Chains A and B, each alone.
Chain A
Amino acid sequence: MRFHFFKIVLLSLGLGLSVSCQRTWHGEPALQKTMLGVTATIAPDAQAEKTIAPYRAQVTKQMAEVIGVVPVALEKLAVESPVGNFVADLQRIQAEKLTGKPIDLGLMTAGGVRTPLRQGNLTVGDIFELMPFENELMVITVPAVVVKQLLNYASQPHIYPLAPKTLSTSNVAYQILNNQPQNILIGGQPFDSTRTYTIALSDYLAKGGDNLEFITNQVSSQKVGLLLRDAIIKHIKELTAEGKPVEAKIDGRVQVIVPNTPVEPKQ
């Protein structure tokens, strides 16, 4: 009996100690699907649908309004982007209307324009996708050096060949030769390094967003009192009222010159 008692105590002691030492749980990743597709084969959850319904009704009603027609898709392209040209131009035009003053330049980055505009009817919802951000349209006045820095930046090889990084400018024409801007015309006039220029742009870019830190060197700045998205919607509604479609082209405002390649006249 005594023997048994000791045996059990020892056994228990051993067991107790061993469990004590192993008490920590160790996790191992298990074989499992790690990306589950949220696909159309999954029925929507009824409770979630009920929560969404009143919000969706409001959004759908406002988003479905057709405000214009796009005969040819406005793509996001490198060097010159039709949709970038369109937004850069309308920023300048709408800022001129709102401030009653001529504006020298319009500026937009490819990252600021989120989607191309597809061919067909254009709805408010499409413009929300194009410009989801709550950015404000504004006008800044900058010394000429900032315009030069801007075009130098736009002429860097890691910027202009890549659509996602292209800078779109309005009322500016220039050529890129050896990664430098050449023959710069602003409003048809040669670039003047002694004056200031006004630029219509988003408050995001005006604060140096998208790596444009140099643009914060400003003489003055002015908000025009309109969200950029609302300016786009306003512009498209005005075009429609005038019976005009939404169009933008690559119009040669930026040309990349390949050095030492004589331009052959077209046959």
Chain B
Amino acid sequence: MTKRPINNLKLGIFVLVGLLLLIFSLYMIGRDNNLFGKNYKLTARFENVQGLTVGNNVRYAGIQVGTVKKIRILNDTLIEVAMLIDVKMKQYIHKNDIVSMSTDGLMGNRILNITASKDGSLLAEDGDLLATKKNISTDEMLETLDKTNRNIAVISEELKTTVLRINSSAAIWKLLNETELPDNLRASVLSIRHATGRADEMVKDLHSIIADVKNGKGSLGAILTDTAIARNLEEALLKIQQVGDHATALVDELSKLTAGIKEDINSGNGTAHALLKDSALVIKLNNSLSNIEKGTDGFNQNMEALKHNFLLRGYFRKLEKQKRKQ
């Protein structure tokens, strides 16, 4: 047996490197489990922990800050979860912060999230109980989805009947197959475009008119902008008011007058009363008028006799000639 040379230095390095790697990896693994750092305890109470187990991660604003230490059933509706939190986080976690449960990724492990309440409450102490928020579990989500699915089924069924009816409707297909319709539509659209173009021009004109009015051009502008006119108008109005006042005075006098007249008439003074109320006078008047009629009749006969008189015939002929000339 030949003794092979041995190098204690190399053996020492070999073993040391192995041991260091062992210690290092133990530290690295232990660091995640909070075995070597200083921790403090916080608790939260849930109705349902949804599969959370001891050792699950606790995150504060998405940062890994600790692990679940213990899960204890308090009673049939309450489960207490104790968390070990890195003591460095003591200056950030407040008493009113909220603990909620979620999943790491889509199908990953359960995690606890501590969300900052941002209301400036006191910092949480060792052993404090934090409030929790109930999260929607996948079961509840699926239940809602189930309802939605059923509704969608109903809707799709109705859509199907609608589409079937549309398909079987001759009128719509006729409308769709109409070849002239697009041309007509195009023409309509063209005329609408013209109309709108004109409307646009009109609006522009209106705009310019309004601008002119604003600038005091034209009579409307003058009315609106000229202060002198306003003064004149005011005066005119004042005068109209005065006239109105005068008119009322006039009306008053008139009414007095009519009242006087009325009185006169009723009491039997004056000619008007004689005219209106005296029946004897009316008979006399009638007689006089018939006498006058008879008189004028006789006068007419006398005049006719005069026309035919030889003395005056020449004058009347001259008059007739002049009429003809004209």
The answer to whether A and B belong to the same complex is: no
